[in-house]
A = this chain, B = another copy of it.
Amino acid sequence: MNYGEQTIRFLNKPRVVSGYSIVGPKEAAGPLDPYFHKRIRKDDFGQKSFEKAECKLHMSAISGAIIEAGLTPKDIDVNIGGDLLNQIITSSFSARELDVPFIGMYSACSTFGQALIVGASLIDGGYVSYAACSTSSHFSTAERQYRYPLELGTQMTPTSQWTVTGSGCTLLGKTGGKVFVESATIGKVIDFGISDANNMGAAMAPAAAKTVSQHLKDTGRSADYYDYIVTGDLGIYGSKLFLKLLESEGINAAGVHKDCGQMIFDKKQRCPQGGSGAGCSSVVFNSYFMHHLKVGAIKKMLLVPTGALLSKVSSLQGETIPGIANAISFEREEDV
C-alpha cells in the first residue's frame, strides 16, 4: 500500500460533502436524537414488509445526503452501498430506484468502512466526482434473518446487541467543505474462535484492535493524535476487550475511545451491550460526528466500523465467527 502495510493515504483530500441519517423510533428515543436528520414513527415505515421498510430507509438516506449537498441524483457518479440482508437486497433495490451506477458491498457491520474506502479511492484517484456511500440495517429484518422469528419474543442474552434500525449516507466529493478523508486502513479477517452469535463484540474486538494498531504503526501516530477513535459496534464488553488488547501492545486509547454501539442507546433502553448493525456506525457518524466535524469541535477522528462475518448457515455448520474492521481517518482543515 502507499502508506505502510495496510494503509492508503489520500493525497488529494477527498471531501466529506454531506451526510444524512434516518433512524427508527427506538434510536430516536436515545441520547443522539438531536443529531439525527429524520426519525420514522413506526418500524414498518408504512411498508408491507420490514424489508421494504429498510429499503425505503436506505433510499431516504441517499436522497437526504444528495439534497443536503444541494445536488441531484444526476450529479452522483456512483452509489457504493451495502446492508446485512441476504444478497444485500436493500441496497440493490434502493439503487434500482436511484438510476446511478452501483457497487454492492458486504462486510457485515463494517460495510460502511469499506464503502468509504472505495469511495475515497475513486474520488482521490480522479475517477469520479461524487460517490454516495450508504449502509443500513433494521432490527426486524436482521433479527429474523440471523436469529429467531420476531413472533417468538426471544429474550436477549447479556452479551447481545440490538440491531440499529436506520440508514446513513456520506456523500464524498472532489470538492465541498472542510472535512476530508486523510487515510484509511483496510482490515484483515481475524478469528479468535468465538462461536456465540450473541457475543459479537468479543468476535470483533480483536479485529478492531489489530486494525487500529496497524493504522498507528503505518502512520507513525500515537492514539492521541486523534480527538476520537470511534469503533462501530463493539458494545460494552467488546470495547473493554478492545482497549485491553491495545494496551497489551502498549497503546493507550482509553482517553479517546468511543463506540457508536454504546452511544446510540442509553442504559434505560434495555439493549444489553448497545447497538449494532451495518446502519449503526453510519447513522452515528453521519449525525453526531458529522456535526462535530463540520463545526470544528472535532478536528481529527478515526472511524473504525467493525463487522462479525457470520451467516445462519455458517453458525449452524459450527463455524466460529471471524471479525473484520476498517479504519478511516477524517480531518478538518483549520479555519483561516
Contacts and interface: CB of A to CB of B under 8 A. Distances in A.
Interface of A: 1-2, 6, 8, 48-49, 51-52, 77-78, 82, 84-89, 92-93, 95-96, 98-108, 111, 114, 117-118, 121-122, 124-129, 145, 186-191, 309-314, 317, 319, 322, 324
A49 B313 CA distance: 11
Contact of A121 (B48, B95, B125): B125
A317 B82 CA distance: 20
B102 A105 contact: no
B189 A96 contact: yes
A191 to B, nearest CB: 5
B87 A310 contact: yes
6 A-B pairs closest in CB distance:
A125-B125, A101-B186, A87-B311, A92-B309, A96-B189, A95-B189
A87 B108 contact: yes
B1 A319 contact: no
Report which residue of A52, A87, A127 has the largest number of chain B beta carbons within 10 angstroms of its beta carbon. Answer: A87
Contacts of A127: 1-2, 8, 121, 125
Contact of A106 (B78, B104, B124): B104
A99 B214 CA distance: 13
B311 A95 contact: no
Contact of A313 (B86, B95, B99): B86
A126 B117 CA distance: 14
A2 to B, nearest CB: 5
Report which residue of A6, A100, A313 has the largest number of chain B beta carbons within 10 angstroms of its beta carbon. Answer: A313
A186 B103 contact: yes
A311 B51 CA distance: 11
Contacts of A98: 189
Contacts of A89: 309-311, 313-314, 319
A138 to B, nearest CB: 12
A319 B93 contact: yes
A82 B106 contact: yes
A51 B187 contact: no
B105 A104 contact: yes
A87 B103 contact: no
A160 to B, nearest CB: 18
